[in-house]
Amino acid sequence: MATSEVTALVLAAGKGTRMKSAVTKVMHSMAGKPLIGHVLTTLDGLPFTKIGIVVGHGREQVEGYLAKVGQPHLESKAWEIVLQEEQLGTGHAVLQALPQIPAGCTVMIVSGDQPLLTQETLGELLSVHRSSGAAATVLTAYMDDPRGLGRIVRGEEKVMSENRFRSVSSIARIVEEKDADDAVRGIKEINTGTYCFEGDVLREALAHIRPDNAQKEYYLTDVCGYLTESNMLVTGYRMRDAQEAMGINDHCQLAVAEEFFYDKIRRYWMREGVKMVCPKTILIDADVRLEADVTLYPNTWLQGDTLIKKGARIGPQTTITSCRCGEDCVVSYSVAEEAVVGEGCLVGPFSRLRKGCILEARAHIGNFVEIKNTTIGYESKANHLTYIGDAVVGKHVNVGAGTITCNYDGIHKHQTVIGDDAFIGSNANLVAPVSVGTRAVIGAGSTVTKDVPAGALAVERADQRVINNWETKK
């Protein structure tokens, strides 16, 4: 049994013409993550010693993404970018990567546009390849509608020699649809575009591939026919769930794949103890993490690197992007981005938490309140119609309805600091930079431009005039 090292190659140089987009195909997002990100996450969990990523068309986009998030996806792996200047076919793409493949290595080749393939399936492909001792193993699938895909032409049963007594159905060759006759087009077993090859054999076979076909391309699939003709074994591992093999070529296919993926994510989290009301309306992106006993209400979308802790209730009608939501917090009808919501906080309905907000435990942010780059202390409240930006608010502070921190002078942003137990009366303007001391009180309607000491009352408003009998004088 071959137990050599395994290198993975991801083919991601193609243009993706049918996406009709300035975004290169593998960078289109599915559940908040580029297609290639899904593929790399899957590969990261498998025993590869090295991953090569073949880029070409739109390579700055792919390289930019890998530079930014490559490490988290490929925590334990060495990976390398291989450039395919001109896209002359899948065989040509692999040729460019050959120098990166160590001698004696097994190579798994996957496409960057097949985001639904699972670690389980790829792991099975690898173990089938190893145990059969084949020169190549193709991941195949049965499809009712195989249009557009390469067809698997099976060969004779081969009985393995020596100490292995398995008979294996071999693959004679793979024929692209454009090169197929009617008989071959009738075959429903297709090439998923994922393979294991013995690297040295692959190297030797690729040297013989010629672009004499309908598309004038170097087909990787021709390697299979060549190996069979050279009396080497090419076998297939037929996967159970053909949908997993789906490749993305246009926005219709992307939408189908995305829906399938969201459904899978929902089922995963429900099995992990998350309660969902009307699950079909709930979207949970790929990198979101949830704890048991979280409840999600309809029309909730959790995005980015979000973590929701146990007992939290999120939604309905809420979008949360890259936030930490603490135990037992409640967020309803709201939008939150890059914020931390502490344990037991109440947010919403109709609140907006922008980047850089930290709500300490049991804080309340109510309806029509926007906060940005602000810390709200333990048990502090801003319940109605308020804007708080660039502020540090202490514990047990009450921010009255209509309070505004005037943080922007047209050029610079300034900070507002509010001490513990302070009381900000309704409709106050706090013109930053300004500080309000602990236990200080701001009278309703005041425009505060000077610091207020601890324990003081600041009132800034004209004295009220009352003119009696005004109506009759008029």
**For binding to ligand UD1 (CB under 6 A), which residues are involved?**
11-14, 54, 84, 87-90, 92-93, 111-113, 149-150, 174, 176, 190-193, 219-221, 247
CB of 375 to ligand UD1, least distance (A): 46
Phi/psi at 386 (5° precision): -135, 150
342 binds, among Ca ion, ligand UD1, none (CB under 5 to 8 A by kind): none
Find the shortest distance in angstroms from Cβ 115 to Ca ion. Answer: 12
Residue type, 179: D
Cα distances (angstroms) measured from residue 450 to each of 93, 149, 416, 417 = 67, 72, 11, 12
CB of 328 to Ca ion, least distance (A): 47
Q: What is the DSSP string of 347-368?
A: E-SSEEE-TT-EEPTT-EEEEE
Shortest Cβ 21–ligand UD1 spacing (Å): 14
DSSP helix/strand/coil, 307 = strand
Asked if 208 is an active-site residue, the reply is no
The item of Ca ion, ligand UD1, none sharing an interface with residue 176, based on CB under 5 to 8 Å by kind, is ligand UD1
Shortest Cβ distance from residue 239 to ligand UD1 (Å)? 13
> Contact at 8 Å (CB) between 59 and 23?
no
Number of residues counted as binding Ca ion (CB under 5 A): 1
- Could you say which of ligand UD1, Ca ion, none residue 84 binds, taking C-beta under 5 to 8 angstroms by partner kind? ligand UD1
- The residue from 251, 384, 396, 414 that is catalytic is 384
Nearer to ligand UD1 (CB atom), residue 247 or residue 425: 247
Nearer of residues 129 and 151 to ligand UD1, judged by Cβ: 151
* DSSP 3-state of 321: strand
Smaller CB separation from ligand UD1, 90 or 380: 90
Residue 322 binding target from Ca ion, ligand UD1, none, CB below 5 to 8 Å by type: none
Could you give the C-alpha distances from 204 to 52, 83, 95, 137, in angstroms and in order? 19, 21, 11, 16
Tell me how far CA of residue 305 lies from CA of 267, 337, 339, in angstroms: 19, 10, 11
**Minimal distance, residue 219 CB to Ca ion, in Å:** 13
Residue 84 or 332: the one with the smaller Cβ distance to ligand UD1 is 84
Which string of b and e fits 284-320 if b means at least 16 CB within 10 Å?
Answer: bbbbbebbeebbbbeebbbbbebbbbebbbbbbbbbb
Select the binding partner of residue 191 from ligand UD1, Ca ion, none (C-beta < 5 to 8 A, by kind). ligand UD1
Q: Which residue is nearest to ligand UD1 (CB)?
A: 150
- Decide whether 245 or 329 has the Cβ nearer to ligand UD1: 245
Residue with tokens 């009180």: 441
Number of residues that this document lists for the chain: 474
Q: On the CB side of 107, how many CA atoms lie within 13 Å of its CA?
A: 26
Nearer to ligand UD1, 106 or 192 (CB): 192
Q: How far is CA 163 from CA 1, 231, 412, in A?
A: 10, 19, 78
Q: Residue 11 binds which entry of Ca ion, ligand UD1, none, with Cβ cut-offs from 5 to 8 Å by kind?
A: ligand UD1
For 214-218, the CB contacts below 8 A with 24+ separation are 214/176, 214/178, 214/179, 215/89, 215/176, 215/178, 217/88, 217/89, 217/90, 217/91, 217/92, 218/88, 218/89, 218/90, 218/91, 218/92, 218/95
* Residue window 232-261: x/- pattern of binding to Ca ion, with contact defined by CB under 5 A: ---------------x--------------
Q: Which does 150 bind (CB under 5 to 8 A by kind): ligand UD1, Ca ion, none?
A: ligand UD1
**Measured from the CB of residue 163, what is the shortest distance to Ca ion in angstroms?**
39
Q: Using CB atoms within 10 A of its CB, is residue 370 exposed (0-12), middle (13-18) or buried (19+)? A: buried
For Ca ion, the closer of residues 34 and 247 by Cβ is 247
Question: Which residue's CB comes closest to Ca ion?
Answer: 247
Question: In a 3-state reduction of DSSP, which class is residue 287?
Answer: coil
Q: Which is nearer to Ca ion, 188 or 310 (CB)?
A: 188
For residue 341, how far is the Cα from the chain centroid?
22
At closest approach, how far in Å is the CB of 323 from Ca ion?
36
Q: In 3D, which of 438, 431, 340 has the Cα closest to residue 389?
A: 431
If one asks whether residue 425 binds Ca ion (CB under 5 A), the answer comes out as: no
Taking CB within 5 to 8 Å according to partner kind, which of ligand UD1, Ca ion, none is near residue 366? Answer: none
- Residue with structure tokens 């333990």? 378
Please name which of 222, 242, 235, 257 lies closest in space to residue 145, comparing C-alpha atoms: 242
Question: Which residues pair with residue 372 across a beta bridge?
Answer: 389
In the complex, the residues that contact Ca ion under the rule CB under 5 A are: 247
Q: Just list the catalytic residues.
A: 384
